Amino acid sequence: MKLSEKAEEILEALWIAEEEGGAFLDPEKISIPADDPAFTELTGHALIELRQGMVYFRPEGREEGRMTIRRHRLAERLMMDVLNIRGEAGDYKACQFEHLLNEGVDAKVCTMLNHPATCPHGKPIPPGECCAEARALGDLGVVPLTEFKSGQEGEIAYIQTEDSKKMQKLMAMGVLPGNRILLMQAFPSYIFRVGFSEFAIDTNLAREIFVRK
């Protein structure tokens, strides 16, 4: 089933409304007029129902909404993490891009991004099958240091930063690919140990150190 872009946007809006604790979506709150054919399309597929002018999920629709929001947030991650398009431009591009992420492309992107759990705005990305498989295999892959729990030890995989001075600073501190790293504490700052030295860094720097379990 391939939905129109507008229909997907309605599903997303409804998903977000539910995520925020609502039971339904008020069509007036989105930019798509209530008489838009997209609504008919969705009711036709028995994904949503309209009661007293409000939009509700049907069970099948909720699953569809889940996958739609997943694609949207994966696209956001892709824009930010890989293509480095941030802010409004990133949001806008993500909106266009998400519609391409069907028929298995989402799983590929998700794996490439190492099954991210949240979008750049901090909202959860509903896990797909690929995520469940990765979890079953216990394959953590390469994650930023921020994803480690305190007490967890791993190996530094790479450093990802555009600021070459920052990278050299980190390398001078002993943050070099191949070195063992032990995260000792994650709040209020990240404290880690490499060799016999301990260091404290802020979240922004911790995000740029990628580690493998």
Q: Which residues bind another protein (CB under 8 A)?
A: 158-159, 164-174, 176-179, 184-185, 187-189, 191, 194-202, 204-205
46, two tokens = 């028995």
Shortest CB 173 distance to another protein, Å: 7
User: What single-letter amino acid sits at 201?
Assistant: I
CA dihedral 121, 126, 128, 133 (to 10 degrees): 90
State the nearest-atom distance from the C-beta of 156 to another protein, in Å: 11
Closest to another protein by CB, 105 or 200? 200
Element (H, E) at 212: strand 209-212
Q: Which is nearer to another protein, 140 or 171 (CB)?
A: 171
> Facing residues of 159 across strands?
209
**If you search the block for the tokens 């191949």, which residue do you land on?**
178
Token digits of residue 80: 């930010």
We find the least distance from the C-beta atom of residue 150 to another protein, in angstroms, to be 10
21 or 188: whose CB is closer to another protein? 188
Identity of the residue, 118 or 168, whose beta carbon is nearer to another protein in the bound complex: 168
What is the smallest separation between the CB atom of 82 and another protein, expressed in angstroms?
A: 16
Residue with tokens 């469940």: 132
Rounded Cα distance between 111 and 115, Å, is 5
